[in-house]
Amino acid sequence: MKHTPQVRTSKPTRAEMKTQLLAQAEATIDQFLDWVEQTEHPNLTQIEEAVLEFRRQVGQTMADTALKAQATVHPVPSPRCPTCQREMHFKDTKAKTLTSRVSDLKLKRSYYYCVHCQQGLFPPRPTITGL
Q: Among 9, 19, 83, 100, which residue sits at the site for Zn ion (rule: CB under 5 A)?
A: 83
Asked whether position 115 contacts Zn ion by CB under 5 A, the answer is no
Q: Closer to Zn ion at the Cβ: 68 or 80?
A: 80
Dist CA 103 CA 90 (whole Å): 29
Asked whether position 63 contacts Zn ion by CB under 5 A, the answer is no
Q: How far is the CB of 21 from Zn ion (least distance, A)?
A: 42
Q: What are φ and ψ of residue 82, in 5° steps?
A: -65, -20
Dist CA 79 CA 92 (whole Å): 14
**Using an 8 Å Cβ cutoff, are 70 and 125 in contact?**
yes
Tell me which stretch binds Zn ion (CB under 5 A): 27-35, 49-57, 75-83, 94-102. Answer: 75-83
Q: How far is the CB of 121 from Zn ion (least distance, A)?
A: 9
Nearest to 57 by CA among 83, 23, 91: 23
Give the binding site for Zn ion (CB under 5 A). 81, 83-84, 114, 116-117
